[in-house]
Amino acid sequence: MKASLWAMIVEGWLPRAAAVRPERVALQTPDGAVSYAELLAGANANAAELAVRGAGPGRRVAIALPPGLAFARALHACLLLGAIAVPIDLRLTAAERERLTTGAVVLVDEPLALCADRGGTDRYATASHDLESTAVVIHTSGTTSQPKPIELTYGNFLWGALGSAVALGLDPRERWLCALPLSHVGGLSILLRSTIYATTAVVHERFDTDAVLEALVEQEITLVSLVATTLGRLLDAMPAHPERPPALRCALTGGGPVAPALIARARKMGVPVSLTYGLTECCSQVTTTPVAALDDASTQPPSAGPPLFCTRVRIVDPSADTQATLRAGQEGEILVAGPTVSPGSLAGDGWLHTGDLGVIDEDGRLHVTGRKADTIVSGGENVAPAEVEAVLEAHPDVLEAAVVPRADEQWGEVVTAIVVTRSGTVPDGEALRAHCARGLAAHKVPKQVSFAHGPLPRNRSGKLLRKELLVRTGEQ
C-alpha cells in the first residue's frame, strides 16, 4: 500500500526544472524571457500572495490574464500551492466570465505582486504533485453548447507530456512556439509540457502571421502548434519571405479537420506537418503522426496518426445496443481510454465517448470523419460535413468552406455549402458543385453553394461554429 501511495507523488515540475536547468530559458514572450530559476522565484512569490488571499490545496483560483509571464507565474503558483487553476478566456463577456469563475476563492485579473514580504520566496521550492489530484479546470470551447468544465489531473498532464514526447521526439534544446490561447488545453499543455521537459515555451498573446513567421525564422523554433486556418495563413505568407524556418522539425496541426490539399501544399513548401486529434477531456493529444513517419507521409493518405503510446482508441457503432469494436476501415464513434483522460469524463464502461466519428485503418492510424451531432441525413443517407468541406477546400479558388444542413420536404435535409473564395477569384457555385460531383457521391454534393465575404466563424481553437452558421442560414 505504501509503495502504491508513493507512486502517486512526483517532484514538483517547476522546482525540478529549476534544479536541473536553472539558467535554461523557461518562457520567452515578445516582452522578454525568464530562466527557470527566475520563473520559480516569481511563482514562489505569487504563491505566497495567493495564500494570503485564501488560496490553498484543492481551492480554485481563476486566472483572467493574457498569455505571458504574469499568467505563467500565476499558473505555477497555483501548482506549487496545490490550488486548482481555472484559466479564463479574456474574449468572453463579463457575464460569461462571471459564470466560469463561480466557485473560485481568488480571481487573478491583474499581475500578482512579486514582493518577498509574505514569508520568503523559497517556501514552496520543495512542492510535490499528487498525480490523482486536480491541477487545472479547462472549459471546453463550446462549439455546440455552453462551455463545460473539465477537471484535469496532474497525472493527465504528465502522461500527455510523455505520450507526446514519444510521438514527436524530444530535443533537449526544444523551443515550442504557442500562439494558441492558454485558456484552452492546446495552448496550456505546451506551457506545462515544456516545464515537465525543462525546455523552452515561446508564447505569443495571439496568432499574428508576421510575428509567428518571424519567430519561426529567427528564434530557432523547433515545434509550433497550429490549426488549419493558421497553417494556411503561414503558407500564404511564406513565398514573400526569403528564408525558411531553419530549426523547425514539426508543425503540429489539429483543432479540427485539415484539408488534404492544405497538407500537400505544406509538404511541397517543405513544412513538416504532423496531424493530431485531441480533446480537452484527454488533456490535448489523443493521436499524433510521429515525427519519424513524416518522411514517408507523402506516400500515405493524411491521417491523425496512431494513438499516443499510453492511450487506447476504439471505433464502435453508436447505434448498436452492444458497442463491439468495429473492424479496420469501418466508420463509427471514437472512444478513448487511458491515463490522459479526465476521470470525470469517463462513462460507466470506462471509456470516453467523444461524439466524434472516425475510422482506424489497417496500419492503426485514425482518420477523423466528423461529429455525430453534425451528421446530415439526406434521403436516409448520412453525410459527414467535414468530408464535403475537404473536397471543397481542395479547389484552388476556395480559401475555406463550411457545410451545414438545410431543411427540405423531399429529402429531409440537404447539403448546403458556405464558401470563402481566394482574393482575385470569381465565385461560381455551379463550378464548385461540379468539382464536388467528381469526388463525392451524388447525395453528398451540395445542393446550394453560397458565398461569404469574410472569415467563417470559428472559436479560438479553430473549430467551425456551426451553430452560428445555422443561424445565419436561417435553419435554426
| pLDDT reading at 460 higher than 70 | no
Please state the pTM of the whole predicted model: 0.84
- The confidence score (pLDDT) of residue 146 equals 66
CA distance 412 to 416: 13
- The confidence score (pLDDT) of residue 472 equals 59
Helix (H, G, I), strand (E, B) or coil at 352: strand
User: Terminus-to-terminus CA distance in the chain, angstroms?
Assistant: 56
Report all structural domains of the chain as residue ranges with CATH numbers, in order of start. 1-148 (3.40.50.12780), 207-372 (3.40.50.12780), 374-472 (3.30.300.30)
If you write DSSP's letter for every residue of 398-440 in order, what string do you get?
A: EEEEEEEEEEETTTEEEEEEEEEEPTT----HHHHHHHHHTTS
Length of the chain, in residues: 476
* Res. 142 pLDDT band, cuts 50 70 90: low
* Res. 473 pLDDT band, cuts 50 70 90: low
Alpha carbon 425 to chain centroid, angstroms: 32
Torsion of CA 420, 424, 429, 433, to 10 degrees: -80
CA distance 467 to 91: 18
474 compared with 46, residue with greater pLDDT: 46
How many C-beta atoms lie closer than 10 Å to residue 243's C-beta? 10
Q: H or E element: which one contains 254?
A: strand 250-254
Which tens digit of pLDDT belongs to each residue from 34-83? 999 999 999 999 999 999 999 999 999 999 999 999 999 999 999 999 99
Amino acid at 443: H
Q: At what angle do helices 69-81 and 36-52 cross, to 10 degrees?
A: 60
CA distance 384 to 415: 10
| pLDDT reading at 366 higher than 80 | yes
How many C-beta atoms lie closer than 10 Å to residue 331's C-beta? 17
Count Cβ atoms within 10 A of the Cβ of residue 191 and give its class: 0-12 exposed, 13-18 middle, 19 or more buried.
Answer: buried
